Chain A
Amino acid sequence: MSLLSRYNASLSDPAAKSRTCATTGLNVCLGAERFIKLNAVSAIVFLLLGGIAAILLALTRWQAIHLLPVDWFYRIVTFHGLNMLIFWILFFEVAILYFAATIPINSRLFSTKVAWVSFAMMLVGAVMVNVIILRGQADVMMTSYLPLLAHPVFYLGIILVAVGTLIGVFNFFATLYIARRDNTYEGSLPLVTFGAAAAAIIAVVTLLHGAIVMLPTFSFSMGWTAEPDPMWYRMIWWGLGHMSQQVNVAAMVAVWYLIAYLATGAKPINETVCRAAFVLYVLFINLASAHHLLVDPGVGPAWKMWNTSYAMYLAVLASMIHAFTVPASVEMAMRGKGHRRGIFGWILALPWRNPAFSAAALSLLIFGFVGGITGVTLGTVQINIIAHNTLRIPGHFHATVVGGTTLAFMGLAYYVIPLLFRRDFIARGLARIQPWLFGGGILLVSIGMSFAGSMGVARRTWDIEPAGIYGPAAHLFLGVMGIGAIIAVAALLLFVVLCVGTVLFGVRNNGRAMADWGAAQTAPGAKETSLLHDHWGMKGTMALTSVFLLCFAVYYFANWKALADVWPVR
């Protein structure tokens, strides 16, 4: 903190308005603050819409309930996918970008006008998409695979959202530029900002793919030009669809580092390693769209293998590095605070009652153990034969983008909402259990989907009975998914109610420090020491990552075994 207070004197632009945060002592640019609030609150509204859709879907796929009629099921799948994966995530990420480019490096936002343009385009686009879906004129799933065709407004809305986001990303980079130019900080960017910058770079490439695929499709839907090739569409669409997941991963990991620091004082053991891992994301994700085309015609085996492994496994390496450095930094901080009993003694002393911390920790566990392991396995060219388009696929990504990214973002909101709105968080007891409910629920959803999928149950299918082949086990797992969904959606609603309630009714702090969620304490009688130079001290992390690797290998080879049992096919 002392380092920063030196810069607190003024922001780069003397005319810019700012305030000093009464809790952290950080300088907050008011322009940035407004857009962090706007984007975060809109994000939460889309999360709510997506959550309502989620429960309708889950209760339809749970065959015992089979809630929605057929046309509404597909309409709501489309609605859920776009509101969650695109709108909730993108709006929240823009908020994170504005935060990361201003507050940690004591800068002002480059331009509030640009921020308005970005926000307005995104919002108008999202509303257009939602209206046209609910009017039943875009029952095409979020992927809208050609020759399926939606109303032109659907594509136009998506283009607006993508371009609006690009403009927001531009604002982020311009802010970094003026901060550097005006020397608002000395030395290198903080790790959080660095991670956000990695996410932003990938976002640019991603959104350009979106523009490349959506413009001709929009033009075709208007009857101006010929139909784009459906296979070309798939390849470019997944350049958007998959790469954007790497944006989510990079942003999520940046949030892990941030929350680990705020809740336990953790410092990266080696900044070089953490930063290099972010660079790996940027360098090696470009062709990961390949692993959505693994059983497609038209792309050969060499192309698939090269683009899944060259592009993916070094990005996987990056995630595995973070999976070590994040817990290791927390462990060393805890040991430094005197929690040294055995291998795992430090875990008991973690601030588990802090919802931001528990959200980040659960996010790391669910993302790593479930989302990551299943993702790499399903993304293996041959194993994809026994997984493509089954419920195993949503089973996987509900553990990455929901149990991982969404939960991490919720954790961040527990810090950011009170600090920016300057109101104490309401119903703190409920907030403390919310991440556990959401994480537990989504884990059940993911497990239920994954097992039902390995029994052959297809994704995006209203009714599995006409096939007449799915037995009680498949139905049981759909039930597990349904129960998990009830828990997860209840927790999601709780999160929304708590956030909105805090914004409207939280007690204003009026210049006093915000009530804290609770950070890791120094052990009684111990003196805080830095263990950053002990390179073998993280025994607990070593044990955890060993277990992780074991689970990974077992799951991976079990899937090869399952593949070997089906008919020979080429």
Chain B
Amino acid sequence: MSLHVPERDWYKAPAGAEKLWIGVALLWCFVMSLMMPYWHFRGKQNADSETYAVEPAAFMERTERFVADNRVGEIDGVPVVEPPPGGEAYLLARMWSWYPILKLRQGETYRIHMSSTDLQHGFSLQPLNINYQVIPGYDHVITMTAATAGEFIIVCNEFCGIGHDRMIGKIIVE
């Protein structure tokens, strides 16, 4: 009858299986909406979006200072920087590189500041598949524990121009 004017007495409370399904579906929606606060307090992976306003030039300067203070080496011309365990680290995204290479200690937790000096970029840590958005003007702080050792690749997964696919960075965990 969906094409026609309904009969006059169409207003009826749901009944039978239909009513049961609405109840079950509503319950499931509740479960799903409670999972998020539950995980916020009990889970280990969250997106808290700790954010500060930052001018691109200021972020660049902080990153350079961080690199100068903590530099431990160089790979292919990119400095390798080891932040103090539990400390702050800076990761600058720009067309088309991640700067610098971070060297972390397994099991330690770091506060990684991410921002961009040009377009938006996407922080995508592989092969873990951890993804956060990086936006110019916003200092996005991710608190991250390097739980496993190895070499991890940062892929850019927000389109940022013609070199987007070659915007590859690195995090080394020892």
Task: Give every chain B residue within 8 A of A298 (Cβ-Cβ).
Answer: 49, 51, 135, 138, 140
Tell me the B104-143 residues at the A interface (CB within 8 Å): 109, 118-120, 122, 124, 126-140, 142-143
Distance between Cα atoms of A260 and B1 in the complex (Å): 9
The answer to whether A321 and B22 touch across the interface, beta carbons within 8 angstroms, is yes
Contact among A300, A313, A553, A560 with B49 in the assembled complex (CB-CB below 8 Å): A300
With contacts A298-B49, A536-B17, A568-B44 taken as known, whether A4 is within 8 angstroms of B12 at the C-beta atoms is no
Contact among B6, B17, B21, B145 with A569 in the assembled complex (CB-CB below 8 Å): B145
Distance between Cα atoms of A70 and B161 in the complex (Å): 10
Chain-A contact segment, one of B59-67, B75-83, B151-159: B151-159
The answer to whether B133 and A388 touch across the interface, beta carbons within 8 angstroms, is yes
With contacts A231-B135, A301-B49, A458-B124 taken as known, whether A568 is within 8 angstroms of B3 at the C-beta atoms is no
> Does A563 have its Cβ within 8 Å of any Cβ on chain B?
yes
Chain-B contact segment, one of A212-220, A304-312, A478-486, A497-505: A304-312
The answer to whether B18 and A190 touch across the interface, beta carbons within 8 angstroms, is no
Query: How far apart are B64's CB and chain A's nearest CB, in angstroms?
Result: 21
Majority secondary structure, B binding face: mixed
Q: Mark A414-445, 1 if CB is under 8 A from B, else 0.
A: 00000000000000000000000000000000
> Does A556 have its Cβ within 8 Å of any Cβ on chain B?
yes
Contact among A190, A309, A328, A536 with B6 in the assembled complex (CB-CB below 8 Å): A190
The answer to whether B33 and A458 touch across the interface, beta carbons within 8 angstroms, is no
The answer to whether B51 and A297 touch across the interface, beta carbons within 8 angstroms, is yes
Q: Mark A531-554, 1 if CB is under 8 A from B, else 0.
A: 000111010011001000100110
Query: How far apart are B130's CB and chain A's nearest CB, in angstroms?
Result: 6
The answer to whether A381 and B143 touch across the interface, beta carbons within 8 angstroms, is no
The answer to whether B48 and A570 touch across the interface, beta carbons within 8 angstroms, is yes
Tell me the A359-392 residues at the B interface (CB within 8 Å): 376, 380-382, 384-390
The answer to whether A299 and B49 touch across the interface, beta carbons within 8 angstroms, is yes
The answer to whether A563 and B45 touch across the interface, beta carbons within 8 angstroms, is yes
Contact among A105, A270, A309, A560 with B18 in the assembled complex (CB-CB below 8 Å): A270
Query: How far apart are B34's CB and chain A's nearest CB, in angstroms?
Result: 9
The answer to whether A295 and B15 touch across the interface, beta carbons within 8 angstroms, is no
The answer to whether A382 and B16 touch across the interface, beta carbons within 8 angstroms, is no
> Does A188 have its Cβ within 8 Å of any Cβ on chain B?
yes
> Does A222 have its Cβ within 8 Å of any Cβ on chain B?
no
The answer to whether B6 and A187 touch across the interface, beta carbons within 8 angstroms, is yes
The answer to whether A187 and B131 touch across the interface, beta carbons within 8 angstroms, is no
The answer to whether A261 and B1 touch across the interface, beta carbons within 8 angstroms, is yes
The answer to whether A535 and B16 touch across the interface, beta carbons within 8 angstroms, is yes
With contacts A272-B11, A463-B165 taken as known, whether A568 is within 8 angstroms of B144 at the C-beta atoms is yes
Chain-B contact segment, one of A84-92, A140-148, A155-163, A395-403: A140-148
> Does A152 have its Cβ within 8 Å of any Cβ on chain B?
no
Distance between Cα atoms of A230 and B124 in the complex (Å): 20
Contact among A258, A309, A534, A569 with B46 in the assembled complex (CB-CB below 8 Å): A569
Closest residue of chain A to B52 (Cβ to Cβ) is A297
With contacts A309-B33, A390-B124 taken as known, whether A189 is within 8 angstroms of B5 at the C-beta atoms is yes
> Does B25 have its Cβ within 8 Å of any Cβ on chain A?
yes
The answer to whether B21 and A570 touch across the interface, beta carbons within 8 angstroms, is no
> Does A15 have its Cβ within 8 Å of any Cβ on chain B?
no
User: What's the tally of chain A residues with a CB closer than 8 Å to chain B?
Assistant: 107
Contact among B15, B36, B143, B155 with A382 in the assembled complex (CB-CB below 8 Å): B36
Tell me the A185-211 residues at the B interface (CB within 8 Å): 185-192
With contacts A190-B3, A461-B165 taken as known, whether A230 is within 8 angstroms of B17 at the C-beta atoms is no
Closest residue of chain A to B29 (Cβ to Cβ) is A313
Query: How far apart are A51's CB and chain B's nearest CB, in angstroms?
Result: 22
Contact among A74, A260, A468 with B159 in the assembled complex (CB-CB below 8 Å): A74
> Does A494 have its Cβ within 8 Å of any Cβ on chain B?
no
Distance between Cα atoms of A568 and B7 in the complex (Å): 58
The answer to whether B51 and A317 touch across the interface, beta carbons within 8 angstroms, is no
> Does A394 have its Cβ within 8 Å of any Cβ on chain B?
no
Task: Give every chain A residue within 8 A of B1 (Cβ-Cβ).
Answer: 190-191, 261, 267-268, 271
Distance between Cα atoms of A420 and B127 in the complex (Å): 54
Distance between Cα atoms of A545 and B124 in the complex (Å): 36
Query: How far apart are A424's CB and chain B's nearest CB, in angstroms?
Result: 22
Closest residue of chain B to A316 (Cβ to Cβ) is B29
Q: Mark A461-493, 1 if CB is under 8 A from B, else 0.
A: 111101111000000000000000000000000
List the interface of chain B (C-beta within 8 A of A).
1-8, 10-19, 21-22, 24-26, 28-30, 32-33, 35-37, 39-40, 43-51, 109, 118-120, 122, 124, 126-140, 142-148, 153, 155-162, 164-166, 168
Can you give 5 contacting A-B residue pairs, CB < 8 Å? A145-B120, A262-B3, A272-B12, A456-B124, A567-B148
List the interface of chain A (C-beta within 8 A of B).
3-4, 70-71, 74, 77, 104-105, 139, 141, 145-148, 185-192, 229-231, 234, 254, 257-258, 260-262, 266-273, 293-301, 304-305, 308-310, 313-314, 316-317, 320-321, 324-325, 328, 376, 380-382, 384-390, 454-456, 458-464, 466-469, 534-536, 538, 541-542, 545, 549, 552-553, 556, 560, 563-564, 566-570
Given A139-B162, A385-B45, A564-B43, 16 other A-B residues pairs in contact with their CB atoms under 8 A: A187-B6, A188-B10, A191-B1, A191-B6, A266-B2, A267-B1, A298-B51, A309-B33, A382-B36, A382-B39, A384-B131, A388-B131, A389-B158, A455-B127, A467-B153, A570-B143
